[in-house]
Amino acid sequence: RKTPWLKELEHSLQEEEIDYIVFDDISQNPRDFQVMSGARVYKEKQCNLILAIGGGSVMDCAKGIGIVATNNKRITLFEGIDKISNPSPPIICIPTTGGTSADVSQFAIINYFKQRYKMAIISKALVPDVALIDPFVLQSMDSYLTACTGMDALSHAFEAFVSNANSPFTDLYASEAIKLVHENLMINIEEPNNIQARGKTMLGSLYAGLAFSNASLGCVHSLSHSLGGYLDLPHGECNAILLPHVVDFNFNSAPDRYRRIAEILGIETHNLSNNQVKTHLNQYLIYYRNTLGIKDTLKDKSVTTDIIPALSKKAIMDPCNATNPKSPVSGDLEFIYKEAL
């Protein structure tokens, strides 16, 4: 609530004599009980529209509030795909981070607090009615948040491109998203007030959102949802740590697509075997995230081998696994977590 963007928005609403209520009881990785609290406020104040200004957590919470407000059930009952009967109220999103794509996606990720994992709620009913994209607001992001949200966007694009539900439409947006985010993310960190580079990263995030809303995601996100919910870690940071290890797991199930990704990233693939391309791609992803300042492993984030079975048990139930190019079993997910330690 301390950001100047909210004050500007309130001023505009007041000038137009539009009544509003501010709900800001939202944490990083929004909790199920916060969604329920917001829905109570929405109904008690007889609201008729939701305007979400913030990062992915704010926008996901807003989507959850809309679901509960019109369906009158606990948010935990909507986990999975197409569980929403009644459409949400109109939702307008103004993203203030560049990478989550929550402003255009059919996903809402909510932390089921008592169970310590993130629920994936997936439905076309969750796509916001309006998304107002303004790179100017990204200037307030610090370098680490910029890196993490940028890697979130890159992970979205990677997973949509190799998804078993890919199409020419999603390929177009996912490949361009990879290019835009990769070329501009480091500039965002080195020159935080470079509006042109911020805008290109935000456009890349938008394209990635359009891609994964139609092709869905994969094991990076199923693993990340379980991990982030259990330890309350930033989602983009989890994705950045896990991405190279999931690429290693998936590569032989989609070698041509990963080869194309490597080429978009500027990696020379001519006359290289698939195993050589896989090695170069993984090495580059680790180098790239380190350069961005994301240097931790899962061990550095307090993950130990004794909690990995519990993490894997939650992760294998995540709907994102359905569109991963290689169908995982729980043991596969345990292996990936261990490789990322």
Instruction: Select from 250, 243, 135 the least CA-distant residue to 198.
Output: 135
pLDDT 10s digits, 207-241: 999 999 999 999 999 999 999 999 999 999 999 99
Q: Which of 192, 108, 182, 102 is nearest to 146 (CA)?
A: 192
Report the candidate in 246, 248, 244 with the shortest Cα–Cα distance to residue 284: 244
Once rounded to an integer, what is the mean pLDDT over residues 290-307? 96
Average pLDDT over residues 308-335: 97
d(C-alpha 320, C-alpha 327), whole Å? 11
**According to the model, what pLDDT value does residue 98 have?**
87
Question: Is 205 in contact with 154 (CB distance < 8 Å)?
Answer: no
Pick the CATH number of 142-339 from 1.10.760.10, 3.30.420.40, 1.20.1090.10, 2.102.10.10: 1.20.1090.10
Q: DSSP states of 249-310 as a string? A: HHGGGSHHHHHHHHHHTT---TT--HHHHHHHHHHHHHHHHHHHT----TGGGT--GGGHHH
The whole-number pLDDT of residue 1 equals 62
pTM: 0.93
pLDDT at 102 over 70: yes
- Where are the domains positioned within the chain? 4-132, 142-339
User: Can you tell me which residue has the tokens 């932390």?
Assistant: 111
Predicted pLDDT of residue 222 = 97
150 touches 188 (CB < 8 A)? yes
Angle, in degrees to the nearest 10, between helices 219-231 and 143-162: 140
* pLDDT range class, residue 132, cuts 50, 70, 90: very high
Residue 3 scores a pLDDT above 80: no
The gap between the terminal CA atoms of the chain, to the nearest Å, is 36
Task: Say if CB 108 and CB 75 are below 8 A apart.
Answer: no
Q: What are phi and psi of 95, to 5 degrees?
A: -70, 135
Which fold, 4-132? Answer: Rossmann fold (3.40.50)
142-339: same fold as 4-132? no
Q: Which residues pair with 95 in a beta bridge?
A: 54
**Residue-wise pLDDT tens digits, 252-290:** 999 999 999 999 999 999 999 999 999 999 999 999 999
Give the pairing of strands 117-122 and 107-112.
antiparallel
Say yes or no to pLDDT of 327 above 70: yes
R_g of the chain, CA atoms, integer Å: 19
pLDDT surpassing 90 at residue 83: yes
Q: How far is CA 122 from CA 45, 143, 150, 177, 307, in A?
A: 27, 30, 22, 21, 27
Asked whether the predicted pLDDT for residue 332 surpasses 70, the reply is yes
304-316 pLDDT, tens digit per residue, is: 999 999 999 999 9
Residue in 172, 17, 15, 205 with CA at minimum distance from that of residue 93: 205
Distance of CA 310 to the CA centre of its chain: 22
